[in-house]
Chain A
Amino acid sequence: MLPAARPVGGKSALSGHIVAIARGGDRSAFAALFIHFAPRIKTYLTRLGANPAVADDLAQETLLTVWRKAAQFDPAKAEASTWVFTIARNLRIDALRRENFPVAGDDDLAQLPDPSDSAETILDMAARGRRLREALADLPPEQAEIVQLSFFQDKPHSAIESELGIPLGTVKSRLRLAMKRLRGALGRDLFGELP
């Protein structure tokens, strides 16, 4: 089920860094996370309309939140990039839209195994992440375009519709096809509907 042991590096190292902060306040792990994520969060925020100075501040605040909340990160449930993305998204909504992001809550918390930070779970999630990135790269261009616009434009899908000059139904069906493939790549056991 799991790939043969491989050196922990690349994306899975990022998860390990968050775990290292949770365990012992590892500052070099923090620096590594900053170097990877902060400049990308800044790009994410400027694409969504923040000016560069604000984007810089919010990227820093995102990393500070990573430091503070590292113990809440569960490498068995998400990749580092997923978790960092949700923090940046929520801070953006809070700071730029002055709104709250309503989270779902989690009623099967009790049914989950203890959060595990074993190399195995991290590698399993890293393998899912690699498959996801391959699937993203393989999306038909018209689906990839809608996915990109959905994340990097602070607009409802009806605005995407008028911008691209295609009907809302087409926007929605392209998203449905894209998400079906991407969930398949991630594995429906953790990221899809169960039979």
Chain B
Amino acid sequence: MTITHHPSDAALVAYGSGSLDEALALVVATHLALCPDCRRKAGAVEAVGGALLDDLPPAAMKEDALDKLLQKLGTVEAKPATPSRPAVDHGWSLPAPMRQYLGPSLSGTAWRFLAPGISRAAVLPRRRGGASAYLLRIKPGKSVAHHGHRGMELTMILGGGYSDELGHFIAGDFVELDGNFYHRPVADPGEDCICLVAASGKTRFTGLLGKLLQPFIRL
């Protein structure tokens, strides 16, 4: 698998600094699980966070804070070193970050009809006006109606591929859209295109058909 589309530095900084909504962060983490180069870059973001933390002016802690903590230490057991994270599997099982939300594979996922040839499965619902995450499955050759987003849309292609106004994307690719970009993704022939998508801001469809579907779809 050759990944040719990666998160921007801005997306990696937003992820590593902890300022992305969980749904958007999940899409970045899923790409990182499959892309060692981006994982190293995300490590650099965290190193920058550490250096900035070191450089902050100290704020006075409660006077007895250290003493209280030292007393607590006896009761807090240090954990032995274990491989902290499960290894990433390739093939049909899901990348590690997604398993917490969906289980080990998509076999038990509840897909819902969205439009002919397109189904959707919720991953993380929208919270307090933040972003939501969902899976999209598009049958070969089918397309999602021309639409745009008010906020940010991050997509990670898990299987198959699609083309839109920006180019051609395949499994492992990461697509980052922001602002008022409108697109009409068309799935490649041959196999279903499965994507993890997170979007902040409401999805807006254009065209008569899209507008008719709008009340039902609510991506």
CA distance A194 to B29 in the complex (A): 19
| A164 interface hit (Cβ, 8 Å) | no
Q: Are A105 and B96 in contact (CB under 8 A)?
A: yes
Q: Are A101 and B87 in contact (CB under 8 A)?
A: no
Question: B101: shortest Cβ distance to chain A, in Å?
Answer: 8
Partner pick for B66 among A35, A102, A150, A180, CB 8 A cutoff = A35
- Binary contact readout B88-117 vs A (1 if CB under 8 angstroms, 0 otherwise): 100000011100100000000000000000
CA distance A19 to B152 in the complex (A): 41
Q: Are B18 and A148 in contact (CB under 8 A)?
A: no
B34-63 contacts to A, CB under 8 A, are: 34, 36-62
- Binary contact readout B177-218 vs A (1 if CB under 8 angstroms, 0 otherwise): 011000000000000000000001000000000000000000
Q: Are A88 and B151 in contact (CB under 8 A)?
A: no
Q: Are A79 and B50 in contact (CB under 8 A)?
A: yes
Q: Are A133 and B78 in contact (CB under 8 A)?
A: no
| B165 interface hit (Cβ, 8 Å) | no
Q: Are A40 and B44 in contact (CB under 8 A)?
A: no
Question: A3: shortest Cβ distance to chain B, in Å?
Answer: 18
Partner pick for B58 among A43, A89, A99, A128, CB 8 A cutoff = A43
Q: Are B65 and A56 in contact (CB under 8 A)?
A: yes
Q: Are B178 and A158 in contact (CB under 8 A)?
A: yes
A10-44 contacts to B, CB under 8 A, are: 11, 21-22, 25, 27, 30-31, 34-35, 37-44
Q: Are A88 and B66 in contact (CB under 8 A)?
A: no
Partner pick for B79 among A68, A83, A191, CB 8 A cutoff = A68
| B26 interface hit (Cβ, 8 Å) | yes
With A31-B70, A79-B47, A179-B41: A101-B79 Cβ-Cβ less than 8 Å: no
Interface of chain A: mostly helix, strand, loop or mixed = helix
| Among B8-16, B136-144, B167-175, the stretch in contact with A | B8-16
Closest residue on chain A to residue B45 by CB atoms: A179
With A40-B54, A56-B61: A102-B70 Cβ-Cβ less than 8 Å: no
Q: Are B22 and A99 in contact (CB under 8 A)?
A: yes
> Which residues of chain A are near B18, meaning CB under 8 Å?
89-90, 92-93, 101, 154
Q: Are A192 and B85 in contact (CB under 8 A)?
A: no
Closest residue on chain B to residue A132 by CB atoms: B51
Partner pick for B17 among A71, A151, A172, CB 8 A cutoff = A151
With A40-B53, A107-B87, A156-B19: A190-B43 Cβ-Cβ less than 8 Å: yes
| B164 interface hit (Cβ, 8 Å) | no
> Which residues of chain B are near A150, meaning CB under 8 Å?
13-14, 17, 19
Closest residue on chain A to residue B57 by CB atoms: A43
With A105-B33, A158-B151, A190-B40: A179-B70 Cβ-Cβ less than 8 Å: no
CA distance A52 to B32 in the complex (A): 34
CA distance A82 to B52 in the complex (A): 9
Q: Are A38 and B65 in contact (CB under 8 A)?
A: yes
B56-85 contacts to A, CB under 8 A, are: 56-62, 65-66, 68-70, 72-73, 76-85
Residue contacts A-B, CB under 8 angstroms, 10 given: A56-B65, A85-B53, A86-B49, A101-B25, A102-B22, A103-B29, A153-B19, A175-B9, A179-B45, A192-B37
List 10 other contacts, CB 8 Å, given A68-B76, A102-B100: A22-B81, A38-B65, A40-B59, A56-B61, A104-B42, A105-B96, A109-B83, A129-B50, A179-B48, A188-B40
| Chain A contact residues, CB within 8 Å of chain B | 11, 21-22, 25, 27, 30-31, 34-35, 37-44, 46-47, 52, 55-56, 59-60, 63-64, 67-72, 77-86, 88-90, 92-93, 97, 99-110, 115, 128-129, 132-133, 136, 147-148, 150-158, 168, 171-172, 175-176, 178-180, 182-183, 186, 188, 190-194
